[in-house]
Every structure is written in C-alpha cells, then in structure tokens.
Structure 1
Amino acid sequence: MNRFYGTGVAIITPFQTNGQVDYDALGRVINHIIDGGVEYIVSLGTTGESATLNAGERKQVWEFTSKTVAGRVGLVAGLGGNNTAELVEDIKNFNVAGYDAILSASPNYNKPTQEGIYQHYKAIAAVAPLPIILYNVPSRTGSNVAAETTVRLARDFKNIIGIKEASGNFDQMNQIMRDKPEDFLLISGDDPISLQMIAMGGAGVISVVGNALPQKVSGYIRESLAGNFKTAAKTHLELIEFTRLMFAEGSPAGVKTALKELGICEDTVRLPLVQVSTATADKIKAETKKLA
C-alpha cells in the first residue's frame, strides 16, 4: 500500500482531432507524469473519459498504459458502474498485468441506499483480483458514501484498502479518520483541499492538475506528508488559480488545454464534453506559461 502514499494522477485519454484515441500522445502524457515524480497513475477514471470509450478502446488503453508505465510507478485501473452484476464480470475478466489496484466509484444514477452501496462493494470485493480503492464523488454519482459505510467496508474486507474521498465534507472525513482501521488510506479526490486532508492524516491525492504540472503537485504533496506545511503551502497557494481554471468549464477539458499549451497532446474531448471557451483557454494558457 506504500505505492499509494503521495501523488496519484487520474490520467487523461488524449484524442486525435478526429476523435480517435491518440496513443502516441498517451505515451507522452504518461512519461511527462512519471518524469514529474508522481507515485502512481490511475488509468481510465472519470478524467480519462472512460464513459465515452467503448469496451475495446478501454482494453487497449489499459494494456498500452501498462506496457508504457512498465512498473516505473504504481498503476491503478478505474473500473466502476451502476450495474453490479455486469461490473463483477468486468472485474473477473480484467487483465491485471502491470496493475496494482482497482479504483471503483460508487454507483451513479441509481441512488442506492447505504446498504445497497455496501452490498455493491461486497460483491466486487468477493471477486477482485487486486486491492480496491473506493471512490466517493457525490457530485457525479448523485449519492454519498457515508462515513459509517466507508468504515464498515474497510473493517469487513481486507482487500478494500482505501478511499478516494471527493465529497468535500470535512465532517465526514474527520469521522473516517477517527474510525477507520489504521492502515486504511484516506486519499484526497479534490486538488484544492489535498494539503488540508493530509494535515488531518490523509495519504495524498489522486490529482487532475498533476496531468499538466506533476512536478509541482508531487513536490508539495511530499512536503505535506513530511509535515513541512509552510513550504508546501507556498506551492499550494501558487496553484490556486490554475486549479480553479482546470474545473471552470468542466474536467478534463481544462487540463487538456494546459497539456496542449505544453505541446503534449491535443485538447480534443468527446461529446457530451466540449472544449473550454476561448476566454478560459486564454487564461489557462497564461497560467500554464507562468507555472510550467
């Protein structure tokens, strides 16, 4: 589990201007992130636009990512869904070569009860060939994984090793920190509050901003984990405007604009997402030039 202390990056999926996956650019993004000193990469989370990739594309992206990473950093696969039976089969059939864990978001749209969420993850835990990191992101799923449910899952299933917590609810995070098993990882799912979560005992972040600025993000996260909060805060504050712009018109459109400015990939996204406006793009470009 030490592989998941520090900075993880929820990696984008680059597309060519015709909408096809750009594997050359994906290789550049992966190497850019690794060269920036991160601890691990998450392939095909929400930031990877997994919802708009078909099954064949997802398989190819996972395999390409594993081969390109080649064990240099930890690697996590994003595997989630709101059809538990189908997700169980997907996990059973997943090619684990090169992967260290599975990140699985709580079911979206169905709005299950807490017992439903528990039973969903119980079914996954029974078949998962790799450790599981829960993902709570109520703004996208439409339902919250309560602290009591997170702790219950952490205590009942040894292969559920952590949670990417993106509720923004510090009272809930406090409760998880107080009640969780000692080795269960509380990971920030929100770039703007990663430092604060580490201060309360968090294990790091799964970052969007780290796609573009991996060295800055991983650097201040390491300083935070070492207790050097005054040093870390300087970079944290420096990144506030850049981070805000990354999400101003939706993710990953913002960070793809920054990556295009860096010459790493195009800013193409798949519908229903669209590129950021010209006004926002100009602001992102200016901040990228300042920080890169």
Structure 2
Amino acid sequence: MQSLIGTGVALVTPFKNDFSVDVAALKRIVDFQVENKIEYLVVLGTTAESATLSKAEKELVIQTVIEANKGRLPLVLGVGSNNTAEVVEELKTSDLSAFEAILSVSPYYNKPTQEGIYQHFKAIAEVSPKPIILYNVPGRTSSNMLPSTVIRLAQDFKNIVAIKEAAGDLVQAMQLIQHKPKDFLVISGDDMIALPMVLAGGSGVISVIAEGCPKDFSEMIRLGLQRKVDEAYALHYRYADLIDMIFEQGNPAGIKEVFKSLGLSENTVRLPLVNVNQDLADRIKLIVKNLNIT
C-alpha cells in the first residue's frame, strides 16, 4: 500500500453559519491539500464531525470530495461504528469504487475486551471489498487496542493492511513497529509524535494540522522517511505550538479556526462542539499570520 505512505489528512466538514454543509468551502480545502502535495485524503473521519452528519449529508460530502479531487489523490473513507452489524451492512451495500481503503475505528462506548475488538474487525475483514486501516484512538473510544490484538489481526487477515495509531503512546507505537508483519503500515494518528514515529519505522501520519499547513507538514514527514532528521525536526518545531493550539479546546474547533484565518472556510462547528474562545482564536490567528502559511 505505497499510496498510504506519507501524509494523509483527515478532512473537516466545513459548515456555513446556518450549519449546512459548505460545499464550496470543502472544494477549496480539497484543492488546498492537493496543490500543497499531501499524499492522500481521508473522508468522514473523526475530524469531519461524522457523528453529527445525516446519511444524506455524508453522501454529499463523499460526492463533493470525489468531484473536487478529480482522481488526483488516493481517497480513504471512514467506515466505523460500535455496532459491528451496522459496519458490515454498510460495507456490503456501499459503492466504494472511488476509495483506496477504509479507515475503521475501534468500537467506542461499549468498551469491548481485546477478544471483542478482534471479533469486530474479523467480521469487517471478512466482508470488506477494500483494504482496511484499523484506527486506535483510546482517548475517544475508552478502549485501547493493544499491539498484540493489532498484530493478531494483521497476521490473520491480509486485507488489514495498516493501523492509524492515535494512543499518543510512543512506546506502544514502537512495540507495534517492532513486531508487525513486514508490509503492515503503522501510521501516526497523533500530530505531535508523528515525526518520532516515522523515525522509529512508521509509515507516515493521518493528520489534522497538515490540513492547515499541508506543504510544510507533508515535507516534514517526507524528510523523516528519508532520515533527514535535522531538517525534519526544524519543521516539527516550527509548527509545534500551533499543534498544541488546535487541540487545546478540541478537534475540529481548532483547525477550523485555522481555516477561518486562511480564508478557506467558516469556523462553524455543530453541537455538542462549540467554537474556541476568543483568546485562543486570537492566538491562532496571530501564529498563522507569523508562520506565513500559503
């Protein structure tokens, strides 16, 4: 899966001030990623506020991204739930022809055991027509998918090809990298430790901050993959403060504030999320200006 090496971005769903999907802004954001050499786009992930989108809105987002992308970059689609049967049915009935792979989050809220997580992804792997990227994000799911479970899945199912590892635990990431099958990809889901993970043997990142600074962040990952450590860390530290800021009051409220500063979209989020406060908005606006992101 060479197309998944490097930097993918978890696209936001931009909203107008009336909370409707802003199709024009979404097209601008896709163009911004493509023009600044991101490797691939992730549609309907966490950052897309998928939990607040209707089925019709999800289809609108999918078709808008496909149309705007025009085949220029590989696409990955988020297909996940804490209802295993629902995911299986969606994979059986959806047209996934435009997508390179699916990204499927570990079941949330139910708090399954490791065996429950294994059986969930086993059921998905048995029906998925596309390669699967596992998604471990215990800060949102309240359930950590352990390296032993990931490696078991990777060994048992050839169409489970990667993991987006977002536990924020570099030791756990290194255990995955050390023991994974040869061609299995360990992709960072945490922007602040993306470079250390790449230097430890990871394959790249599915990023939030890269949406706002795609040119430099994707270059940082490429430099890391080339083992050009000093040049890569220079870019890391250039954006480290902004990474902290965009997650300070939640995602995607922070990155949407970056987009507002760049003139790409409004900063509107849907409840239960709310906009960042004025203090953080002012700090984001200032740092975006000082970084001279184009």
> For the superposition of Structure 1 and Structure 2, which TM-score range results when normalised by the shorter chain?
over 0.9
Partner of 1:68: 68
Name the aligned partner's letter for residue 80 of structure 1: G
Query: Offset at 1:91?
Result: 1.4
Partner of 1:192: 192
Partner of 2:259: 259
User: 1:278-289 to 2 correspondence within 5 Å?
Assistant: 278-289=278-289
Contact 1:45-1:77 at 8 Å conserved across structures: yes
Partner of 2:152: 152
Query: What is the alpha-carbon distance in structure 1 between the residues aligned to residue 20 and residue 138 of structure 2?
Result: 30
Query: Offset at 1:63?
Result: 1.7
Query: What is the alpha-carbon distance in structure 2 between the residues aligned to residue 165 and residue 206 of structure 1?
Result: 9
Query: Offset at 1:96?
Result: 1.1
Encode CA deviations 1:53-87: one digit per residue, 9 max, x unaligned. Answer: 01111112112211211221110001100000011
Partner of 1:274: 274
Partner of 2:248: 248
Partner of 1:106: 106
Judge which range, 86-95 or 73-82, deviates more.
Answer: 86-95
Query: Offset at 1:174?
Result: 2.0
Matched residue SS, 1:239: helix
Judge which range, 66-75 or 205-214, deviates more.
Answer: 66-75
User: 1:138-177 to 2 correspondence within 5 Å?
Assistant: 138-177=138-177
Query: Offset at 1:94?
Result: 1.7
Query: Offset at 1:271?
Result: 0.4
Query: Offset at 1:40?
Result: 0.2
Contact 2:37-2:214 at 8 Å conserved across structures: yes
Matched residue SS, 1:265: coil
Contact 1:47-1:251 at 8 Å conserved across structures: yes
Query: What is the alpha-carbon distance in structure 1 between the residues aligned to residue 97 and residue 70 of structure 2?
Result: 10
Please report the RMSD computed on the Cα atoms of aligned residues, expressed in angstroms.
0.7
Contact 1:14-1:22 at 8 Å conserved across structures: yes
Contact 2:170-2:193 at 8 Å conserved across structures: no
Query: What is the alpha-carbon distance in structure 2 between the residues aligned to residue 157 and residue 70 of structure 1?
Result: 31
Partner of 1:28: 28
Partner of 1:52: 52
Unaligned runs of 5+ in 1: none
* Normalised TM-score (structure 2): 0.98
Name the aligned partner's letter for residue 68 of structure 2: T
Query: What is the alpha-carbon distance in structure 1 between the residues aligned to residue 133 and residue 246 of structure 2?
Result: 24
1:6 equivalenced with 2:6 (yes/no) = yes
Judge which range, 167-176 or 273-282, deviates more.
Answer: 167-176
Query: What is the alpha-carbon distance in structure 1 between the residues aligned to residue 76 and residue 15 of structure 2?
Result: 21
Query: What is the alpha-carbon distance in structure 2 between the residues aligned to residue 195 and residue 210 of structure 1?
Result: 13
Query: What is the alpha-carbon distance in structure 1 between the residues aligned to residue 169 and residue 250 of structure 2?
Result: 21
Query: What is the alpha-carbon distance in structure 2 between the residues aligned to residue 263 and residue 97 of structure 1?
Result: 32
Query: What is the alpha-carbon distance in structure 2 between the residues aligned to residue 24 and residue 189 of structure 1?
Result: 27
Name the aligned partner's letter for residue 267 of structure 1: N
Matched residue SS, 2:18: coil
User: Which 4+ runs in 1 deviate beyond 2 A?
Assistant: none
Query: Offset at 1:175?
Result: 1.7
Contact 2:125-2:157 at 8 Å conserved across structures: yes
Partner of 2:180: 180
Partner of 2:226: 226
Aligned residues, how many? 292
Unaligned runs of 5+ in 2: none
Query: Offset at 1:171?
Result: 2.4
Query: Offset at 1:242?
Result: 0.5
Query: Offset at 1:170?
Result: 2.3
Encode CA deviations 1:109-153: one digit per residue, 9 max, x unaligned. Answer: 000000000000000001111100000000000100000000000
Query: What is the alpha-carbon distance in structure 1 between the residues aligned to residue 124 and residue 157 of structure 2?
Result: 10
Contact 1:66-1:99 at 8 Å conserved across structures: no
Matched residue SS, 1:127: coil
Query: What is the alpha-carbon distance in structure 2 between the residues aligned to residue 154 and residue 121 of structure 1?
Result: 10
Query: What is the alpha-carbon distance in structure 2 between the residues aligned to residue 83 and residue 172 of structure 1?
Result: 26
Query: What is the alpha-carbon distance in structure 1 between the residues aligned to residue 161 and residue 230 of structure 2?
Result: 30
